[in-house]
A = this chain, B = another copy of it.
Amino acid sequence: MMAGLREKKKEQTRRRISEAALRLFDERGYDAVTIAEVAEAAGVAKVTLLAYFSCKDSLVLDAVKEDLAAIVVGREEGRSPLDALREHYRRMASNGTGGMDVEELFTRIRVISSSPALLAGLQHAHASQRAELAAALASTLPGDGLVAQLMAAQISAAVTTLQEAFFHRLSTGVSLEEAGRLLGADVDLAFDLLQHGFSSPQGEKS
């Protein structure tokens, strides 16, 4: 379907911008670098950069966005939404990088973890998916939709927390393999908590 030299160049330009951004942010800190500087480093105009990335934080965050709703919608027959999500994250934990550039991933996580603005952006990205996830869950549930909304909110909150814990470990020197192993345990902990609530077994004491 249209190999397209046009598409290819767009891809290249996007990568150039993204790499320049990541490098500069890593060297000098996210807040201290302006998008105009990124544009110059990538050899494009500021307007062009903003055509590729809608805002400053998506220069870093676009590459780590996920689609929870899609996982639910595309789950195997007979599997519950929660199990599908649990399975997805378990696989992720054991998968290592899944073919990604490890060095780049580390840099990205280092940049995100050291910038409050980007951490907030990450939260926001998850929160934005809440509505879609709620819609996907609503079709599997009775009632007026509040339960689906609550579940969606709790799930994305849990996932955000898992991701933060994972990022925090990686940015404090834990190896990728070890972090993956720990993530696997965390995933089960988190999903057990979602499934069975705060009471039992590791829930509150009173």
Residues of B contacting A65 in the complex (Cβ-Cβ under 8 angstroms): none
Q: A27–B55 Cα gap in the complex (Å)?
A: 29
The smallest beta-carbon distance between A176 and chain B, in angstroms, is 19
Q: A140–B202 Cα gap in the complex (Å)?
A: 12
Number of copies: 2
Task: State whether A158 and B147 are in contact (beta carbons under 8 Å apart), knowing that A194-B198, A198-B82, A205-B140 are contacts in the complex.
Answer: no
Q: Give the interface size class of chain A.
A: 35 or more
Q: A156–B199 Cα gap in the complex (Å)?
A: 18
Cβ < 8 Å to B, chain A residues 159-182: 160-161, 164-165
- Give the contact stretch, choosing among A6-14, A31-39, A41-49, A120-128: A120-128
Let me know if A204 and B161 touch, CB within 8 A: no
Let me know if A82 and B204 touch, CB within 8 A: yes
